A and B are shown apart, each in its own frame.
Chain A
Amino acid sequence: MKNDKVNTKTIKVDYLARVEGEGALYVKIKGNTVTDVKFKIFEPPRFFEAFLRGRSFCEAPDITARICGICPVAYQMSSSHAMEDAFGIRVDGQLRALRRLLYCGEWIESHALHVYLLHAPDFFGYDDAIQMAKDYPDIVQRGLQLKKTGNEVVILIGGREIHPINVRVGGFYKALTKQELNSLTEKLKRARDIALEAVSWTAKFDYPDFEQDYEFVALRHPDEYPFNEGKLISNKGLDIFVHEYDNHFIEEQVAYTNALHSKLKERGAYFVGPLARFNLNFDRLSPLAKEAAHSAGLSPVCRNPFKSIIVRSVEMVYACDEALRIIGQYEKPEIPAIPFQPTAGTGYGCTEAPRGILYHRYRVDDNGRILDAKIVPPTSQNQKTIENDLWQFIPKYLDLPSEELKYDCEKAIRNYDPCISCATHFLKFNIDRE
């Protein structure tokens, strides 16, 4: 170590690094026509898929949770469900309820971040939440409080804030007591009130007149608003089991981006996320969430992606409501996890991450060693739809100076809450006018 000291030196930098570059948009305009739109995102799943090969099945929930710091629960849930599918086990009863509760926490946390800190500033013409916090400190504080409550749910059930460690294939490492869950009740009631305010607040925003004929894809469960399971359906006739995913969806390698473009083989681009869930599962929302939606003038089918901010708020109401329902009916399960033996096979899992369906597929051998992994995150599924929106959106604003056009494009992209939040005001914007 002494030798190192001779050769090393510490440099004070004080360099402000906007963490950008993960998202980039290239727009080409000839005269008054948009001739090219390319939206690029940085995405790590490909690297994780390779990394998973040769690992044990039980590592999948923890490894994949690291793909995203905003929706780690989704990755844990999809991977756990896929493995359980491969081994032929079913997590039911209170363990299943506990998983739903964990998911509620993640939705509250992720939606609160997006609604208050990322998306709302767009509707007021602010560049970011800092500016908005100056003029609306109370609102930003409420958003942070909501986010914190979501966090607390994830910490309590998941065991850790960022990358929960309590989730395992078959259930949990430790099941919580009723008393432990009760500690969340008052906070969740307060959070639900804030979420209700968020619905009426966002309903008053000024929305661009922009509607497209999307194909919405989401899970559909016989009697629940979907988190962990259901069939995959769409408003244009898709109705399949999760294990049929690969028969209907393909991923296309696109030269200009790390991410693969996901398409429906039959029809092309599709739309996943809160708006899709809401449109396809409105009848499964809790009465309170339904009522909130109605009083906000929101009903299915909503085809305006900018209104996804209202839908996210409605989903926060639902998530708080559902969390309170689960806690009310909870009894500590006898065992924290279902016992099982790994067997060779292929398992499929698809769950509703805050920003849309997250598909996992694993092939494992007799020892539960991963032979092959496939992960399709929601953002890559929406990527083609995002580009399509921009094709429609940009021509209306062609006369704007490039800076303003950039701002509007960012807004259009932010409707989808692309999981590059690390790079939220992210856009490297290249505009090529001829």
Chain B
Amino acid sequence: MKSLIDTLSSIAREEHASKIISLTVKLGALSHISPDHFREHFIHASRGTVAEGARLTIEVMTDTTHPQSQDVLLENIEIMNS
């Protein structure tokens, strides 16, 4: 989760964004984390960062044979420019 937040922060910095409005992540079928559980962690970890309060969309993948089925993929983020 920390690496995700770090990535969000560095993208925000590069883009001179003041705020991350929303983001979409995909959870692999074997990623061992439920969407709600992920959300709890995200809310906790994003507090005080540029991603605090961002709208989080989570897609759950079902293909267990997908090479990234154990991972979490950050698909896109929507930022607000300062």
Contact = CB atoms under 8 A, between A and B. Distances in A.
Given A21-B3, A69-B36, A140 B64 contact: yes
Contacts of B3: 17-21
Given A17-B4, A69-B40, A162-B36, A11 B70 contact: no
Interface string B11-42: 10001000001000100001111111110110
Interface stretch (A100-108, A208-216, A421-429): A421-429
User: Chain B interface residue count: which class?
Assistant: 35 or more
User: Chain A interface residue count: which class?
Assistant: 35 or more
B78 interface: yes
A366 to B, nearest CB: 31
B72 A17 contact: yes
Given A11-B15, A22-B41, A44-B44, A17 B33 contact: no
A313 to B, nearest CB: 18
A40 to B, nearest CB: 11
Interface in A1-38: 4, 7-22
Contacts of A66: 36, 40
A17 B79 contact: no
Given A17-B7, A42-B1, A129-B70, A12 B33 contact: no
- Prevailing SS type, chain B contact patch: mixed
Given A17-B3, A117-B32, A422-B1, A11 B38 contact: no
A163 interface: yes
A328 B58 CA distance: 39
A44 B81 CA distance: 32
Interface of A: 4, 7-22, 42, 44, 47, 66-70, 113, 117-118, 128-130, 133-134, 140, 144, 161-163, 421-425
Interface of B: 1-4, 7, 11, 15, 21, 25, 30-38, 40-41, 44, 64-65, 67-81
24 contacts: A8-B21, A8-B78, A8-B80, A11-B78, A16-B74, A17-B71, A17-B73, A18-B72, A42-B41, A44-B41, A47-B44, A67-B40, A69-B34, A69-B37, A69-B38, A113-B32, A128-B70, A130-B30, A130-B65, A130-B69, A133-B64, A162-B35, A163-B36, A422-B37
